[in-house]
Amino acid sequence: MSDQALNTVGKSELRRDGLSHVTGKTQYVDDIQFPDMLYLKMVRSPLHHARILGIDFSEAEKVPGFVRAFTYKDVPKNLYTILCLIGVGPDEEPVLAEKEVLYKGEQIAAVVAQSEEAAIEAAARVKVDLEELPAVFDVEEALKPGAPILKPWGTNYFVYEGHHCRRVRYGNIEQGFAQADYIVEGCYEPKPIEHAPLETTGCIAKPEANGRITVYTNTQALYFSMDNTALILNVPFNKLHFVGGTVGGGFGGKVDVIVEPIAALAAMHTGHPVKYLYTREEEFHVSSTRVAYRIYFKDGVSKDGHIVARQVTSYADSGAYNRHTPYAVTKHAANISGPYDIPNVHIDAHCVYTNRVPTSAMRGFGVTSASFATELQIDKIARKLGMDPFEIRLINAYRNGDMRPYQKVVGDATLVEVIQAAAGMAHHPLSERFQAMNSWDRANSPARPEPVSAEKRS
């Protein structure tokens, strides 16, 4: 490795797309135009939870330039879940709402018109008859008996292989607590965050002479979007041609498959290119946000600073539908023990449905919230024990060869070195013993507490 000549490492390479960006020649979705293009605007739920009694398009149809409207009846496979491609199920989100809406802003019907103005006006004239239903906005309230039930399977949680939450079991939590000198509890609530990319989510679907549909999209997940669109439209994958890769800011906010299926459907039915681009207001109101969590910690800690037991009960607010959140919660459950070697771990991470806007991916999703909470928690432990926040991390940091609670052996740890470097940059003095620690052995480290008993992961 050290003998190898490196061409790029250690050097700044200019961005490949830089010249195109600084000259304004980069083509984003909104820069593409076709002469016979139609514009799609969405009729959305004004209520958080309601039963749909009827939809009346008669006034919308009178708007000059109106072309046609779409409801769930027009969508070949209306129910989907994005992660079906990696085996997550069941399908539970409608492309267009059927009998019920579960969040304010949910898509009910699409209106297509010859101009954007006409589409806006026609969508505004669609009358939706709704019967308001009780809504639930809190993750713990949603799991209580008597809460309005949002899912056809009769609960408000995602089912992980038959379980009501994603579970991690390692060691023996009760015996771990019994060994501890202190119990330190904490509750942390990372909030939802809107990605707010400068370019709003959108696409243009264009029917081609050969029967294919070309979709120009700013998705961050081109093949996810194409495959889900093919499944929803019930067409072979080779009927779709997705053109993307230019994203005017995403940060995880453009991995949901929302605009492409309905725009492609409208293009198929009208024979025209159809543009569906969120307004800034839609980007804020109805695009997914980062997942909000409520995370309860109960840690058993020994006098010398070792975390010997960690019990976490975490509730992720998925909003009304899955999007990417069931997967995020699995990552969250795996990472909530932190980059620390804890011999007894008991995690229950719930993916909960509420009547909020669906949440999904954002920058390290599942893990960012876990890191936020674990790092606040370890600072709290350090304060409780009167220990240095760097030293307590070095004592607990995982080393190569350690077993993680989810049954993987650590092979690429450099945490000790990173903490040492961070202490140096922050001019935070570390004693010689802590400076001598490393990620490859436990020399200079206190004896490592062993798991109480090696239970099989359930």
Partner 1 sequence: MTTQAYFRPRSLAEALGLLDEHGPAMLVMAGGTLAMPLINKGVSRPEKVMGLRQAGLDYVRPVDGGVYIGAAAPLSRVRAESGVPLLAEAVKNVAGWAVQNIATAGGNLFAPPPAGDLAVALLALDAQVKLASLKRGERLVPLAEFFTGFLTNCLDPDELLVEIQVPKPAGKSVLLKYGRLYTNTPAIVSVAVRVVTENGRAKDVRIALSAVGPHPFRARQAEAALTGSSLDSSAIAAAASAAAAECEPHTDPIASAEYRRRMTGVFVQRALAQVAA
Partner 2 sequence: MASKIVTFTLNGRETEVMVKPLTTLAKALREKLGFTATKCGCYEGNCGSCTVIVNGEPVLSCILPVEEVEGQNVLTLEGITPAEGLHPLQQAFHENFAIQCGFCSPGMLMVSKALLDKNPHPTQAEVAEAISGNLCRCTGYDPIIAAVLQVAAGSNGNQGGSHE
Q: Which is nearer to partner 2, 141 or 194 (CB)?
A: 194
Task: Mark 355-384 with x for binding to partner 2 (rule: CB under 8 A) and - for no binding.
Answer: ------------------------------
Phi/psi for 240 (5° steps) reads -115, 140
> Does residue 117 touch partner 1 according to CB under 8 A?
yes
| Rounded Cα–Cα distance for residues 457 and 452 (Å) | 14
Apex CA 265: angle with CA 125 and CA 269, to 5°? 80
Per CB under 8 A, contacts with partner 2 among 199-218 are 199-200
| Rounded Cα–Cα distance for residues 261 and 342 (Å) | 45
Among 279, 302, 313, 400, contact with partner 1 (rule: CB under 8 A): 279
Q: Which is nearer to partner 1, 39 or 170 (CB)?
A: 39
Phi/psi for 381 (5° steps) reads -65, -45
CA atoms within 13 A on the CB side of 313: 6
Which region, judged by CB under 8 A, interacts with partner 2, from 16-24, 150-158, 181-189, 410-418? 16-24
Q: Which residues lie closer than 8 Å to 142 by C-beta, 6 or more apart?
A: 136, 150, 156, 352, 353, 354
Helix (H, G, I), strand (E, B) or coil at 145: coil
Among 83, 196, 243, 418, contact with partner 2 (rule: CB under 8 A): 196
CB of 289 to partner 1, least distance (A): 14
Among residues 373, 395, 407, 401, the alpha carbon closest in space to that of 449 is found at: 395
Q: Which is nearer to partner 1, 41 or 254 (CB)?
A: 41
Q: Which is nearer to partner 2, 253 or 338 (CB)?
A: 253
In the beta sheet, which residues pair with residue 129?
Answer: 54
Other C-beta atoms within 10 Å of 454: how many? 12
In the beta sheet, which residues pair with residue 100?
Answer: 51
124 binds, among partner 1, partner 2, none (CB under 5 to 8 A by kind): partner 1
> Does residue 124 touch partner 1 according to CB under 8 A?
yes
Residue 40 near residue 119 (C-beta atoms within 8 A): yes
Task: Mark 26-65 with x for binding to partner 2 (rule: CB under 8 A) and - for no binding.
Answer: xxx-xx-x--------------------------------
Q: Which is nearer to partner 2, 23 or 234 (CB)?
A: 23
Task: Mark 45-64 with x for binding to partner 1 (rule: CB under 8 A) and - for no binding.
Answer: ------------------xx
> Does residue 193 touch partner 1 according to CB under 8 A?
no
Burial grade of 194 (CB within 10 A; 0-12, 13-18, 19 or more)? middle
Q: Which is nearer to partner 2, 25 or 457 (CB)?
A: 25
Residues that bind partner 2 (CB under 8 A): 12, 14-15, 17-28, 30-31, 33, 195-200, 247-251, 279-280
